[in-house]
């Protein structure tokens, strides 16, 4: 039996989402659209025990799977900002432990989704990170194998710059925005699903971010001098995401730096989580 695997999981910054709650966590999820970023989380899983990790999700997912493992985590971004990192760590640990035990990965992914839903930290992040897709569209809510994910065609050589401007707990954010998501957010998501193109993604995601109060005049003001080479931008919770051509990354990065906006640069991940045998 393999003793050690490395799981690479893309980050997911949702751009628009409509929560769909049911009495079953497998069918609970969100419809909407988001961007998958690489490099993402790296989760190293070894046979053994001691898999607690930085979030309570890890022992919960291993317990549900009836597996024990020793798990190490790293990521280029912080927890709690809006990169879907709790989902990435939970999915990575579940996939790694299941791969070591020779169990089906879809069962691991579904269990990670259930844990995210029950902890109140994610609805659509696990399915997005499991399947990948660059700019993914969740057309049917739920866990991997239950929900359905489509993709938005986008320009070649697309890159993303991100900036963290604050942190907020997902579960309290979902409660705080419940009415806004159900009313104005739902209309924007529906409009996007009628015409799921890159241009409407850029336009509606920015509008959604403004309606939810993530993209404030203060944040937009700070990047206004560097907007010329950007395709567009949106914000989710405390993360600002700028989409642009790979060739423009350096110049925009320097411009934002001059404005005091520190950014990280990412590629879009077309693949979902990958389990590598060591
Ligand atoms: N330093 C930290 N800052 C914020 N959350 C932390 C930190 N360390 C551990 N946590 C835990 O990480 C989890 C963060 O989950 P949360 O869903 O809010 O963020 P995320 O997954 O990084 O982003 P997203 O909003 O995209 O899901 C919570 O369970 C929280 O208790
Ligand atoms: C609920 C959520 C916004 C938390 O990151 C995300 O899981 C999503 O898009 O469903």
CATH number of residue 32's parent domain: 3.30.230.10
CA of 78 to the centre of ligand 1 (A): 8
- Let me know whether 189 and 211 are in one domain: yes
Q: Are residues 19 and 127 in the same domain?
A: yes
Any residues with CB less than 8 A from the CB of 164 and at least 6 apart, and which?
77, 78, 81, 82, 238, 239, 240
Range of the domain at 184: 158-267
| 248 ligand 2 Cβ < 6 A | no
Q: What is the largest CA-CA distance in the chain?
A: 56
- Residue 49 pLDDT: 81
Nearest ligand (C-alpha, residue 16): 2
How many angstroms separate the CA atoms of 196 and 193, rounded?
Answer: 5
Those residues with Cβ within 8 angstroms of residue 126's Cβ, 6 or more apart along the chain or in another chain: 87, 90, 91, 109, 112, 113, 116, 143, 144
Q: Which atom of ligand 1 lies at the shortest distance from residue 82's CA? A: 26
**pLDDT value at 19 more than 60:** yes
pLDDT bucket at 48, cuts 50 / 70 / 90: confident
Q: Tell me if 85 CB under 6 Å of ligand 1.
A: yes
Statement to judge: residues 236 and 119 lie in one domain: no
Q: Are residues 138 and 165 in the same domain?
A: no
Residue 238 and residue 136 in one domain: no
- The arithmetic mean of pLDDT across residues 209-214, rounded, is 97
The CA 158 to ligand 2 mean position distance, Å, reads: 23
Q: For residue 105, report the phi and psi dihedrals to the nearest 5 degrees.
A: -70, -30
In terms of domains, do 119 and 38 share one? yes
Q: What number is the average pLDDT over the span 32-49?
A: 96
| CA–CA distance, 43 with 32 (Å, rounded to integer) | 27
3-state helix, strand, coil in the chain (%, to 5): 40, 30, 30
Q: Identify whether residues 85 and 133 lie together within a single domain.
A: yes
Quickly state the pLDDT bin for 1 (edges 50, 70, 90).
Answer: low
Residue 244 has pLDDT above 70, yes or no: yes
pLDDT band with cut points at 50, 70 and 90 for residue 51: low
What sign for the dihedral angle of Cα 184, 112, 7, 72?
A: positive
On whether both 181 and 60 belong to a single domain, the answer is: no
Rounded distance, CA 134 to CA 12, Å?
A: 10
Ligand nearest to the CA of 124: 2
Chain mean pLDDT for the chain:
96
End-to-end CA distance of the chain: 12
C-beta of 18 in contact with ligand 2 (< 6 A): no
pLDDT digits (tens, 9 = 90+) for 89-125: 999 999 999 999 999 999 999 999 999 999 999 999 9
Distance between CA atoms of residues 78 and 162, nearest Å: 12
Ligand closest to 37 (CA) is 1
Please work out whether the CB of residue 170 comes within 6 Å of at least one atom of ligand 2. yes
82 lines ligand 1 (CB under 6 A): yes
Structure-block tokens of residue 244: 């642009």
Domain count, the chain: 2
Same domain membership, residue 165 and residue 98: no
201 and 253 in a single domain? The answer is: yes
pLDDT at 191 over 60: yes
For a pocket test of ligand 2, which of 18, 139, 170 has the largest count of ligand atoms closer than 8 A to its C-beta? 170
Q: Do residues 16 and 105 both lie within one domain?
A: yes
Q: What is the CATH number of the domain that holds 248?
A: 3.30.70.890
State the ligand closest to the CA atom of 82: 1
Kindly state the average pLDDT of the residues 184-212.
98
Q: Is 86 in the pocket of ligand 2 (CB under 6 A)?
A: no
131 in the same domain as 186: no
């Amino acid at each position: 039996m393999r003793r050690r695997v490395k799981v690479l999981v893309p980050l997911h910054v949702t751009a628009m989402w409509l929560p769909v709650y049911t009495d079953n966590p497998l069918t609970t999820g969100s419809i909407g659209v988001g961007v998958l970023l690489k490099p993402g989380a790296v989760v190293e899983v070894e046979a053994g025990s001691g898999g607690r990790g930085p979030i309570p999700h890890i022992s919960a997912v291993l317990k549900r799977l009836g597996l024990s493992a020793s798990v190490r985590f790293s990521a280029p971004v912080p927890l709690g900002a809006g990169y879907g990192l709790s989902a990435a760590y939970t999915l990575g640990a579940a996939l790694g432990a299941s791969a070591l035990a020779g169990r089906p990965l879809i069962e691991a992914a579904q269990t990670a989704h259930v844990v995210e839903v029950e902890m109140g930290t994610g609805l659509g992040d696990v399915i997005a990170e499991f399947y990948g897709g660059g700019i993914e569209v969740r057309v049917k809510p739920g866990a991997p194998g239950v929900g359905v994910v489509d993709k938005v065609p986008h320009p070649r050589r697309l890159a993303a710059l991100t900036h963290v401007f604050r942190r907020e707990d997902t579960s309290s954010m979902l409660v705080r925005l419940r009415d806004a998501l159900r009313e104005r957010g739902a209309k924007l998501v529906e409009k996007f699903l009628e015409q799921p193109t890159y241009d409407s993604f850029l336009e509606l995601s920015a509008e959604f971010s403004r309606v939810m109060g993530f993209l404030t005049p203060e944040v937009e003001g700070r990047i206004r001098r560097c907007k010329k080479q950007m395709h567009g931008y949106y914000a989710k919770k405390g993360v600002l995401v700028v989409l642009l051509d790979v060739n423009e990354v350096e110049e925009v990065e320097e411009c934002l730096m001059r404005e005091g906006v520190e950014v990280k640069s990412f590629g879009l991940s077309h693949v979902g989580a990958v389990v590598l045998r060591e």
